Amino acid sequence: MKAILPGTPGDTVKPVVLGEAPEPEPAAHEAVVAVEAFSVNRGETFQLDGGLDRRWAGWRPGKDVAGTVIRAAADGSGPASGTRVVAHPPAYGWAERVAVATTDLAELPDTVDAVTAAALPLAGITALRLLRTAGPLPGRRVLITGASGGVGHYVTELAAASGAAVTAVTATAERGAKLLELGAAELVTSVEDAAGPYDVVLESVGGASLPAALAKLSPGGLLVWFGQASREPVTLNFFDFFKGANQARIAHFDYTTSDAAYGQDLAALVRLVAGGRLHPEIGVIRGWARTADAIADLRGRRVRGNAVLTVG
The pLDDT tens digits for 228-257 are 877 788 888 877 777 777 888 999 998 987
Residue 10: burial class (beta carbons within 10 Å; 0-12, 13-18, 19+): exposed
305 DSSP assignment: B
pLDDT value at 262 more than 70: yes
Structurally, the chain folds into a number of domains equal to 2
Residue 268 in any domain: the answer is no
Residues 221 and 286 in one domain: no
The DSSP code for 257 is G
Averaged pLDDT score across all residues of the chain: 92
**187 with 179: CB under 8 angstroms?**
yes
33 and 150 in a single domain? The answer is: no
Residue 300 and residue 312: Cα distance in Å, rounded? 26
Within a domain: residue 50?
A: yes
pLDDT (mean) for 10-16: 79
Q: Poorest-confidence range of 17-26, 261-270, 294-303?
A: 294-303
Mean pLDDT of 150-164: 97
Q: What percent of the chain has pLDDT over 70?
A: 97
Model pLDDT, residue 56: 62
Q: What does the alpha-carbon distance between residue 187 and residue 7 come to, in Å, rounded to a whole number?
A: 38
Q: Is the dihedral of CA 204, 207, 213, 215 positive or negative?
A: positive
CATH of the domain at 133: 3.40.50.720
**137 and 101 inside one domain:** no
Whether 137 and 245 share a structural domain: yes
pLDDT tens digits, 24-67:
999 999 999 999 999 999 888 888 877 555 556 688 999 999 99
Q: 34 lies in a domain? A: yes
The 10s digit of each residue's pLDDT in 19-32 is: 999 999 999 999 99
Residues 198 and 171 in one domain: yes
- Identify the pLDDT of residue 7: 85
pLDDT per residue over 70-98, tens digit each? 999 999 999 999 999 999 999 999 999 99
- Is 265 inside any structural domain? no
Provide the residue range defining the domain that includes 192: 127-253
* pTM, 2 dp: 0.93
Shared domain for 138 and 243, answered yes or no, is yes
Residues 136 and 95 in one domain: no
Residues 6+ apart with CB under 8 A from 31: 69, 71, 72, 73, 78, 79, 85, 99, 100, 102, 105
Say if 58 falls within a structural domain. yes
Which pLDDT score, from 0 to 100, does residue 54 have?
Answer: 52
Q: Residue 144: name the closest of 209, 83, 53, 64 by CA.
A: 209
Q: Are 37 and 147 part of one and the same domain? A: no
Q: Kindly state whether residues 34 and 100 are assigned to the same domain.
A: yes
